[in-house]
Amino acid sequence: MTQAVLLGGLFIGVLSALPIVNLANCCCLWILGGGAIAAYLALQEHPGPFGLMDGAQVGFRAGIFGAVIWLFASTAVDLMLAPLQQSAADFMLRNATDIRPEVRSWLENLDNAASLPARMIIGFFFQLFVAAPFAALGGLLGAAVFGRPGEARPLPSPTTNHEPPTHS
């Protein structure tokens, strides 16, 4: 199931870190989808019974791995796009004369690299503590949707003997 967890986490982390694409995470689309993908792949690898809780567990693990992937991917994307963001902010500051002072101050400080570690730490813990449970929900849904019919685990037998009803 390691491969399923890694691929589901990669799906969660990369798509959650990409600009514009990450907007679909407003409704946890990538997070739920990554958990469901992890459950689907684990179901393909696992020959025996695979219940809903198994799917939730695989999805949760994918969510944890997705938080780690998000940290690295988001840092890389942020470092690559920082010069582009700063040049866009400089362009707006040069061409707009009626910008309010607080907006002008925000645009001037956009290139403040000192805030990067704090933003990454806060984002990582958000991914870890919010996204991982939603990935578990995605894994549970994935196990419910992709599960093999008739594969439910048998219920434990009752401890008392009851006589079957007799038909007269």
What pLDDT score does 98 carry? 78
Confidence of residue 166 (pLDDT cuts 50, 70, 90): low
DSSP one-letter string for 26-85? GGTHHHHHHHHHHHHHHHHH--S---HHHHHHHHHHHHHHHHHHHHHHHHHHHHHHHHHH
What pLDDT score does 59 carry? 96
Domain ranges across the chain: 2-146
What pLDDT score does 108 carry? 67
| Residue 116: other Cβ atoms inside 10 A | 14
Give 42-80 pLDDT, tens digit per residue. 999 888 888 899 999 999 999 999 999 999 999 898 888
What pLDDT score does 73 carry? 93
Confidence of residue 155 (pLDDT cuts 50, 70, 90): very low
What pLDDT score does 107 carry? 66
CA torsion angle 146 151 153 154 (round to 10): 150
